[in-house]
Structure 1
Amino acid sequence: MAILFKKYLNNECTPEETAALMAFMRSSKNRELVQSLLDDHLQDGEDKGWMYRAQTDRIFQRLNLNQDVEEAEVRSRTIRFTFLKTAAAILILASAWAVFIVSSPTKKEVTAARTAEDVLPGGNKAVLVLSDGQQVKLDSLQTGNPGDDESAVIKKSADGHIVYFAADNNKLKGFNTVRTPRGGQYEVALPDGSRVWLNAASSITYPAAFNAGERRVMLTGEAYFEIASLWRNNKKVPFVVETDRQKIEVLGTRFNVNAYDDETGIKTTLIEGKVKVTTENETVILKPNQQFNLDAEGISTKKVDVEPAIDWKNGDFLFADEDLKSVMRKIARWYNVEVIYDSEIPEESLSGQISRSRNLSEVLRMLELSGDTKFRIEDGAVHIFRPKK
């Protein structure tokens, strides 16, 4: 088992070996050996470049890893996940494989996702719609080459993101839109130096040239923002993000906005700086590590761990007590697949981390480790079901 553990840490395990290791780890009778394997690894003085004690401590605190594995229980039809310290180490591996470890009074058999076909992960895909209606397919734009537009220069940088800036601000009118499809994401540098990362099935609309008094953009879907400070006439020029039900005003900050139409509400999560969120009836100023939620029941503000909110920007799915249907909405957008529930699925909450660079079948195999729910890929759709007992 020590050899298998080292193979896993080096990202050399097959899916079958990974499933076997997970089954071994979650067995209470193997707990001492599992703990010994991790302790030996953490005491190893060799710097492998991806494991640090501080990172491990932060994972421990976030996932409440001091609970005893035998104390986990099912309450209100929601699976509560307990992670061994080994799982915490694996969570911060460069491979970012999923780690879903379940403690249950009864032993469960782990089976791989049933797949008739596979689906590749999404990638950098987007279209820029210029104010005159002209469309530029950004993912096919050559590095360093400008797009075909007389009044603007559109270039792809060496690291692959798009830089759009005005050739002559006095000639620019109207609005431009960058739009990602399902299965796409993109990073864009705006004319003022601000950077925007668009998640799948999202769009940002902005003026061809920002005016002197305000920078205003319109968002659908989800985006992560890093806003550049801009001064004019000794005053900071505000940056405003509009969704269909709220307005966010910033002066220079990092934050994430999730405003998908198929989600239950709009979530604004502040990572750094300060933002003012305005709805039809309320105005709230957020501090770092706070999240503003606007849904059918009203508004709420709470302190959060920001990592799950920006996991997609960092190349991962990171679920923290998230319900199955919410998890599957994220997967559907990224892999551009339909999700079909073939049978009634009890409510479940999932916690864990999965790299967005994995094929869909690998992600589903890891999800199956979380409980009784099974998955099958067929004709571009993911079928979800519970096997008959």
Structure 2
Amino acid sequence: MNQIEQYCQLIRKYLADQASKEEQELLQELMDDPVFLQAWEKVWRENSYPAHPAAYPDPHRMLENILADPRIATAASAHQKTTDGHFNFRRSWWQVAAVFLAFCGAVLWGYYNFYNVDTPPKEQLSNVSIVPGSDKAMIILEDGKQIDLSLLSADTVLDQGEYLITKDNSGQISYSLKDNLAPTNNIVYNTIVTPRGGEYTLRMADGSLVQLNAGSKIKYPVKFDTKLRSVQLEGEAYFEVAKMDVKGKRVPFIVQSGAQTLEVLGTHFNIKSFDDHIVTTLVEGKVKLSFADAALKEQVLAPTDQVIFDKNRRSVKKEQVDPFYSLAWKNGNFAFDNASIQTVMDEVARWYDVEISYEDQLKGQHFSGTISRYEDIDKLLKTISFAGGVHFERKGRRIYVLN
């Protein structure tokens, strides 16, 4: 986690009124740090803006709200001027407010031009900033309580009675049991949900690692049964399954993705389950796939095998592939090999949390290449345009795809 993301995490806690006294004091110390002010702007820009100008925040009222915050007002009255002559906290909060106001002004200016110039949508350009995805997820406990993981500071431990949930310095969530030998009576489930523009890494109680892509959800027990380990996946995730033996017998690991069941006979694999297709790519070891449709044959995968299950067509296609393309997302990249422009833009939409509109009939446009998932959105679109034979116009959070 880089410095800006660490600051963003602290800011989100402050805005949610969950910052500790020590964290509020840290906020005071960071007010003259330009990197911290960049983090303020990043957090502000991550929000989705409403469709009508009346719903936009009033810049003057927003400034008043910031400066009227009792947490800030108290600190400001106690910190006026340092011995070296630099105004610190109050002046810095004016700087933060200025960042907010400047950004709001840009948003309102873009909104005015968008809705008041009578030209077709594809002729419009947007000044609204779109940032790449980051570590964002919600954990849902057995009792329905929801915890925003981005608001938890590093090295946080949540005591849930029989088990502990820990967020480490890298932002990874892991589980540990207070009594690993205690019999499992009622299996308790947790669920992690990543929004569009988010991803998260989880280490389950058996030691298995799961990296969840944007717009995905996984439901898992906090303590696995001694006879069968089973999780439910919607979306895309990369798994590194740990071996688990009980009395010398291997405990199977099952991933249920809608109408497909995967049984782990090995360790490393990727499952992508969006819309009507489930794509399973094996990296290491061996897995077996079975399907709810009894007419479809079971499939046993060896390394580099990929199976595409089309739920609507009730078909299964198996082939050998280069796993590089299926695993690029977990390594921080987009990577495509002769992929349709619709496939490419689906990936972009989930990661940058944008909407895609196809203005023209697109036939035969394909894209091959690799680019960072943390690239500026406009540079990313230019790269795709150059290599994929299409053009883009962006307005707000909507991207128009043109011939």
User: TM-score band, normalised by the shorter chain?
Assistant: 0.5 to 0.7
Match of 2:329 among 308, 312, 316: 312
Bigger drift between 115-124 and 359-368 goes to 115-124
Instruction: Identify the structure with the greater helix proportion.
Output: 2
Q: 1:372 to 1:250 in 2, by over 3 A?
A: closer
**Alignment pair present for 1:212 and 2:226:** yes
User: Which amino acid is the alignment partner of residue 308 of structure 2?
Assistant: N
Q: What is the aligned partner in structure 1 of residue 215 from structure 2?
A: 201
* CA distance in structure 2 between the partners assigned to 1:152 and 1:244 by the alignment: 29
**Alignment pair present for 1:276 and 2:298:** no
TM-score normalized by the length of structure 2? 0.65
Match of 1:181 among 195, 201, 208: 195
Q: What is the aligned partner in structure 1 of residue 278 from structure 2?
A: 266
* CA distance in structure 1 between the partners assigned to 2:162 and 2:286 by the alignment: 34
Which structure has more relative contact order (CA 8 Å, sep 6+)? It is 1
Q: CA RMSD in A?
A: 1.7
Aligned to 1:211, the other structure's residue is in SS state: coil
Deviations 1:11-64 (A, max 9, x none): xxxxxxxxxxxxxxxxxxxxxxxxxxxxxxxxxxxxxxxxxxxxxxxxxxxxxx
Q: What is the aligned partner in structure 2 of residue 95 from structure 1?
A: none
CA contact (8 A) 2:173 2:202 kept: yes
Aligned to 1:221, the other structure's residue is in SS state: strand
Counting only pairs closer than 5 Å after superposition, residues 347-366 of structure 1 correspond to structure 2 as 347-366=364-383
Q: Give the ranges of 4+ consecutive aligned residues of structure 1 lying more than 6 Å apart after TM superposition.
A: none
In the comparison of the two structures, how many residue pairs are matched? 272
Superposed displacement of residue 344, structure 1: 2.1
User: Which amino acid is the alignment partner of residue 289 of structure 2?
Assistant: V
Deviations 1:133-156 (A, max 9, x none): 111111221111112533331111
Superposed displacement of residue 245, structure 1: 1.1
Aligned to 2:345, the other structure's residue is in SS state: helix
Q: What is the aligned partner in structure 2 of residue 33 from structure 1?
A: none
Counting only pairs closer than 5 Å after superposition, residues 24-173 of structure 1 correspond to structure 2 as 115-147=126-158, 149-168=160-179, 173=187
Superposed displacement of residue 208, structure 1: 2.7
Deviations 1:328-386 (A, max 9, x none): 00000000000011222223111000100112111001111125411122121111123
Bigger drift between 195-204 and 147-156 goes to 147-156
**Alignment pair present for 1:285 and 2:300:** yes
Q: What is the aligned partner in structure 2 of residue 44 from structure 1?
A: none
CA contact (8 A) 1:141 1:147 kept: no
Aligned to 2:343, the other structure's residue is in SS state: helix
Counting only pairs closer than 5 Å after superposition, residues 229-248 of structure 1 correspond to structure 2 as 229-248=243-262
Question: Which structure: larger Rg?
Answer: 2
Counting only pairs closer than 5 Å after superposition, residues 363-378 of structure 1 correspond to structure 2 as 363-378=380-395
TM-score normalized by the length of structure 1? 0.67
CA contact (8 A) 1:117 1:377 kept: no
CA contact (8 A) 2:392 2:402 kept: yes
Q: What is the aligned partner in structure 2 of residue 34 from structure 1?
A: none
- Sequence identity of aligned pairs in percent? 36
User: Which amino acid is the alignment partner of residue 275 of structure 1?
Assistant: V
**Alignment pair present for 1:227 and 2:244:** no
Aligned to 1:291, the other structure's residue is in SS state: strand
Deviations 1:167-192 (A, max 9, x none): 35658643110110000001000000
**Alignment pair present for 1:332 and 2:332:** no
* CA distance in structure 1 between the partners assigned to 2:146 and 2:186 by the alignment: 16
User: Which amino acid is the alignment partner of residue 271 of structure 1?
Assistant: V
Bigger drift between 264-273 and 293-302 goes to 293-302
Q: What is the aligned partner in structure 1 of residue 359 from structure 2?
A: 342
Q: What is the aligned partner in structure 1 of residue 100 from structure 2?
A: none
